[in-house]
Structure 1
Amino acid sequence: MDITEEILFQHHEQRRQFALLDEIPRDDTETLGAVWRRLAVLLEVHAEAEERYFYPEVLRLGHGAPGTDDGPEPETEDAVKDHNEIRDGIRKADAHPVGSDDWWDAVRETREANDEHMAEEEREDLADFRLHADLRTRHDIAVKFIGYEARHWAGIQPVDKDPEEYVEQHS
């Protein structure tokens, strides 16, 4: 088990869940709502698990994205900011009737924020971590990460974090 592989696997599942929404008839609001709720929980719990277990270790062991002179701090700040944007999109969607134009706009906003986050994380943070964290460390983080997610399968109360304060607390 490797935290970088687990995160990649979950990114695939997030992409798949968004794609499922595209395939559900627009008037089937019961199914849309059920798939959305499952996806929202996945996104919220995934972000919180990353912030609890993955990013503190990125700050401790990382050197920054390969090919850059930056350390892990700007990448981590950006990831926390992205998580906040994803949470904001989820809250916006949840404020509108499922299937409405406003709901779809908020779902699209969430998807775009998540797509951007996943691309950056895969290109920068995961690559950095694979280069600088040994397999034992990656395994130990994965165990904590999936344990957290398993305990919170029904969801959590999402809380935005100040990216700069987060980095300061975990550096």
Structure 2
Amino acid sequence: MANPRIPKGLRVITSGYSTSGPEGVQRTEVAGGRPRYGLDYDRGVQRYNVSIGMTAQRYAVWTVFFHHIIKKGAITFDMEIDGGFGLQTHACNVMPGTYTAERVGGNVTLVRFAVEAESRVYDLSASDAQAYVELWNQEGDALQALLGRLATFANVDTNVLDF
């Protein structure tokens, strides 16, 4: 069964957006030397702090969604957040104790909460990740333009022949 999706039109406000680093690395002190680091586990979730500004009508829809559909965040839902590759859909859960709603001006309510979600960077294989970094080392800031042009070629230009 697919996850419920955040209601249409509700968008995360970028100025209220932040994230924590992923966990899974352990550090052990060593007498007289450099500490030792080790990977306890790979993957895992990160905390994303989000804010959503809503009109009264959108806040009503959000309240119904939050309380009845995702059961105050206990049920995993899909929401677009930026995990490093621009806005992408992530499976999220609202972290208990982080939800606040504040009327900030007349008809606008600002809802803030933290979600836990796994970064979409794990969609890349190890070789894809290495190739991405090597491509960056070669192209630098021009990488985004190159990838955009490749996407246009693959998804638009080659379809001109309709095959």
**TM-score scaled by length of structure 1:** 0.25
Could you say which structure has the greater relative contact order, defined with CA pairs below 8 angstroms and 6 or more residues apart? 1
Largest Rg, 1 or 2: 2
Larger helix share, 1 or 2? 1
Question: Normalising to structure 2: TM-score of the pair?
Answer: 0.26
